[in-house]
Structure formats: C-alpha cells, structure tokens
Structure 1
C-alpha cells in the first residue's frame, strides 16, 4: 500500500542519535515497519563494556521490536542498522572522518533525539551534551550533500517554567554560543556552583 509518508522515506538513508533510548527505539521501529528505508545509521557510544555494534544488535531484542521481527527476518532488519561510535559530549559527536564522509555522502534525513536526560544533571554535563551536542549536530547536518529533513526532538523540560508549551521556537534566556563557551572555558565544578546560586 502506497502513502505519501512511505513514498517519502523509500530508499532513504537516515542518521539517528538517541536510538537506544525510548523515543529513538520508537522511531527505528516505525521506520523499519512502515517505510522501506535503505539504511539507518545510529550514533551510539560504548557503554557498560559493550561496543556500539553490540548495543545495536541487543537493541533488536527489545520487546518494541518483537512483532516486527515476527513479520520480517531479523537478519534483514540487522542489515539496515549501522552503528557509528560516537558521543554527544564530544566535538563532531566523536565521529571519525570516515564516518563523517559516509554521512555527508549518503544521509538524507536526520533525527536528533539523543540527549542527557538526568533532571538532576550538573549544568556542565547538560550544556556539553545537550547544547553543544546539538550545535555539533547542526554543523554535521550543514555538510550533508542531499539533506531533505533535519528533525530535532527536544524535551518539554527545556521550557519547564511555562504553563503551556506551544509548538514553536522560543527565545533562549542566554545565548547558546556564550553558554557553550562558558562550559568549555570554566571549570566544570565552578559552572555547576553557578547554577545552584
């Protein structure tokens, strides 16, 4: 059955951050079940002794993918998922030059939903991962040759002082570039103390 959405995604290469998280798994599941995407590149960091590739393989064992695996061969799904070692807290998201070349040449769609979600996070960690990480992703996205869409998924908590949150861009109370510069130049403990005063 054809649809405008399915036709749009057909044969596309997708880059996704946050793919091992709740929302990222939902996106992967939807892309693999409803759309005939060519590839999904996942930016994944090593964690608890597991490589990014091992984490992506384990990802398909999640109950979210159970029905999908019953309908399709697991190996076919695995063949569409590629893990790039990366980290949102690093410059260029910790991606290698070879990874960046592949992204620039092949990717059509980017979903950036990776973030540091700990609500008790220290300001330094949140700024470096969430603010600078997004700025680094934007730099990467600007170099993509055949980009058709960049989707940023953020948390409602970024506007936590508002009673109602509209679907629009809000002016930041501080210049993001200044905030990133402060995080990079000031001692992390000093920056964290500033946020509690």
Structure 2
C-alpha cells in the first residue's frame, strides 16, 4: 500500500506565506528604523536625542509631555534634551496657543533632515581634512588652516530633481529646434 504524499501545509497555505512575508517585512522595517536611529544618534550625539528628533519629525508641534509619552522616555530627560536641541537650533519652539488662562506650554518642531546633515557636514569635512593633512601639521608643529583635499556639499533632493527636470526640458527644446 503506497501512501500519497501529503501537501506541505506550510508552503501550500496562502495564509502562511502571507504571514511569513509580513514577518519579513516587519523585520526589515525594524532594522531600517534602527539603522536610521543609529545614524541620527551619531549626528545628534545620543540615541535619546535621535528618538526625540524622529518623534518630532513625525509629530510636529508637540509638547515635551507629548514627546515623553510618545517615546517612552522620562519627562525630565526629554525636557533636558529638548533644551539642548533648541540651543543647537536642531528644534524650534513656540508657545502653544490655548483658550483661556493657564499654562501655555512650548511646542517643538524638528528641522528638516537636509538641514541636520548640512550642519554636520562642516564638522566632518574639518575632521577629514585634519586627518589628510596630519603629516603637514606634525611637520609644522602648529595648527594650519583646515583647507584640504576634502570638500563635502549637500543639496536638497527636491531642488536637484527640479534642476534636472529643467535641464531635460531645455535639452528637449534644443533638440526640437534642431530637427526643424
């Protein structure tokens, strides 16, 4: 008596395949999110500040209490970090308008990622140039200028796309004129 092969329930069940795909997608998103937080922690000095920045990018005009609740951080930690980030111009703040008398708390908003990266570029560029010019510095026994072989520039992706579209339109018009 021969047994018929049983279908593999795990591979034939469409619900199971969907669950595996969703689990894989969740894992990829989690790893991506952690990668972004790690990069921001490097730019902003701590993971706490990075988490606050991400929260404010997603929920602009939030109070320190809302940020603490949304991030799971202690309110005192959030207030201290927000004060530092405001002093460094990484977040802006303004008073929340409210009806009637009472406490009008500050609302915070984070700067755009391109502004954040632009602010860090000068520091990175100076550090790279210091490394590349190390021999010169050691020979001179004094600090020279930070001009060197490294120049880093950041452009806004939206502005760059608009420039490329404009160039493409100019090229199309030139080609059309030549065809006539």
The verdict on a shared fold, with TM-score over 0.5 as the criterion, is no
Per the shorter chain, which TM-score range? under 0.3
Higher RCO structure (Cα 8 Å, ≥6 apart): 1
Structure having the higher Rg: 2
- Whose helix fraction is larger, Structure 1's or Structure 2's? 2
What TM-score comes out, normalization by structure 1 length? Answer: 0.25
